[in-house]
Amino acid sequence: MSAFPKDFLWGAASAAYQVEGAYNADGKGPSIWDTFSHLPGATYQGTNGDVAVDHYHRFREDVALMAEMGMKSYRFSISWPRLLPAGRGAVNAAGVKFYSDLIDALLEHNIEPMITLYHWDLPQALQDEGGWEARSTAEAFEEYARLCYQHYGDRVKLWSTFNETVCFIGFGYITGGHPPGIQNPARAIQACHHVFVAHAKAVAAFRRSGINGKIGFVNVLQTHTPLSDSKEDMAAFHLAEGIFTHWLYDPVLKGEYPAALLEQAQTLWGVPQFAPGDEALLRDNICDFIGLNYYKRETIAANNQDTHLTMNTSGKKGLGHQQGNEFGFKGLFKFVRNPNGVYTDWDWEIYPQGLTEGIMSIKARYGDIPIYITENGLGAKDPIIDGEIVDDDRIDYLSQHIQAIEDAIKQGADVRGYYPWSFIDLLSWLNGFQKQYGFVYVDHQKQLARQRKKSFFWYQDVIKSNGAKR
Ligand code: BG6
């Protein structure tokens, strides 16, 4: 017997740009990732999602594998420019049909769809008008959300608006590693505000639509630990908590920004600027649930130097956290290597207990909000032995994190589902295809043939036993 409720959703997740391919097929418009990934030097060895793992053409085969593994739910995202090639206005019927067919295929196998409306692939046409820095993008997002409700709301009950503001705003507007490649905190804060506005508008439209379902937001669950208990490191740690958790969760779970930080940002940079009605919009449209994506913990230290982050996109351990290659802000904080930590080859600390701690801290701050663990997984180069993919490290990683979720449930958290990242090996944004996460391997030398990994059979047992066998 496990502590998991009997209707617990054992799932897996993916995102449109990372799996679909067919980047210009059947009327799809370009996204900012289509543009960005074609720029020389932007991604690891020039990899892109033009073909990805061709899920667009092979989704029936993929759904059959999901069913065989026993998945009860599948979290996927919709590509906005596949539905609305210019971001608003003319609708691409072939795009609408693709997701409709995918949803039907899932339901035929009793797999509950969970839709993410935005997993980073903004229509390029909207970026050309200012992207998230333009308030009109929030209005276009509402139009897009309503289109999705209209076509899929009869069959889909679980929806989330955005995936991981910290990444697409943080990398997009602060470090500049993701599109649109800007490095300007003030512009980041205003863009982020428009995302919260877009979210609230989409939640309001969802409630007006009368769909019999729930709508939430997906955030990175970034747990922090101070490097030491010195006054300086503790202050840096509290600041990191404020920025990476309170700033990003409060607007969607409490309907307001954390007051002290808001005042500081507005004094320092004059942002975020509110339009009339924004405060009420945020306050009246908080989420039904929160999705938490947990991969790693960050160790936080005081910081008196300029820092510049070059991400480890090669999988050569130790490239992250080198002197001068630490993410941070001068005078505020930086992320450093935990001297006692266990790290992946991409320098992500493996710390399963952080998932229990993080869930409980969300519960402590936001009350009894329903929680889904919408991502969690190990990025690794999987060993192939005698033709079999023997991903024991992934099994260990996931097993320990399932334990961590069970611990949180025993401590009273309302966790309703678990979506490991990912169902299938996919394009890992800047890291190409070498950073594998899936239960299913894709052979890029053999016409993208699918192969079940050792973890596929292991997860099948986990699901069958409702988490008891792991
Ligand atoms: C999350 C994203 O940030 O982490 C996924 O929602 C992503 O899209 C995953 O793939 C792992 O990150 P990465 O950079 O290793 O692919």
Residue 427: pLDDT over 70: yes
Residue 435: pLDDT over 80: yes
Which atom of ligand 1 lies nearest, measured to the CA of 15?
8
- Residue 312 CA to ligand 1 center (angstroms) comes to 13
CA 287/CA 31 separation, integer angstroms: 27
- Residue 452 CA to ligand 1 center (angstroms) comes to 21
The residue whose C-alpha atom lies closest to atom 10 belonging to ligand 1 is 428
Q: Which residues line ligand 1 (CB under 6 A)?
A: 15, 18, 163-164, 167, 293, 375, 379, 421, 428-429, 431, 435
pLDDT at 309: 66
Q: Tell me which H or E stretch contains 106.
A: helix 93-108
Per-residue pLDDT band at 322 (split at 50, 70, 90): low
pLDDT at 469: 95
CA 358/CA 335 separation, integer angstroms: 18
Q: What positions carry a catalytic annotation?
A: 375
Q: Tell me which H or E stretch contains 5.
A: none
According to DSSP H, which parts of 128-258 are helical?
135-152, 165-168, 170, 185-209, 231-241, 247-253
373 to 245, 330, 350, 401, 429: CA distances (angstroms): 16, 33, 16, 10, 21
pLDDT at 315: 86
| Omega within 30 of 0 (cis) for the link into 272 | yes
The residue whose C-alpha atom lies closest to atom 8 belonging to ligand 1 is 15
- Least-confidence region, from 44-48, 160-164, 228-232, 309-313: 309-313
pTM over 0.85: yes
- Residue 304 CA to ligand 1 center (angstroms) comes to 30
Mean pLDDT across 304-333: 78
pLDDT in tens, 279-306: 999 999 999 999 999 999 999 999 988 7
pLDDT in tens, 233-266: 999 999 999 999 999 999 999 999 999 999 999 9
Of 148 and 326, the structure prediction assigns the larger pLDDT to: 148
Residue 308: pLDDT over 70: no
Mean pLDDT across 434-450: 98
- Residue 428 CA to ligand 1 center (angstroms) comes to 6
125's tokens: 């046409």
147's tokens: 């289109």
Mean pLDDT across 421-444: 97
Scanning the structure block, which residue is given the tokens 């990025």?
379
pLDDT at 324: 62
Per-residue pLDDT band at 399 (split at 50, 70, 90): very high
Mean pLDDT across 335-351: 95
Pick from 380, 423, 422, 376: which is nearest to 401 by CA?
376
Per-residue pLDDT band at 311 (split at 50, 70, 90): confident
DSSP 8-state code for residue 317: T
What share of the chain has pLDDT > 90, as a percent? 94
127's tokens: 């970026």
| Omega within 30 of 0 (cis) for the link into 339 | no
Mean pLDDT across 115-142: 98
DSSP of 146-175, one letter per residue? HHHHHHHTTT--EEEEEE-HHHHTHIIIII
- Let me know: does 429 contact 423? Beta carbons within 8 Å: no
Q: Which of 162, 421, 431 to mutate to test the pocket of ligand 1 (most atoms within 8 A of CB)?
A: 421
Q: Quick check: helix, strand or coil at residue 456? A: helix
- Let me know: does 363 contact 369? Beta carbons within 8 Å: yes
CA 120/CA 78 separation, integer angstroms: 10
pLDDT at 328: 87
Residue 201: pLDDT over 70: yes
Q: Which of 160, 163, 375 to mutate to test the pocket of ligand 1 (most atoms within 8 A of CB)?
A: 375
49 to 22, 32, 34, 37, 325: CA distances (angstroms): 8, 12, 7, 8, 28
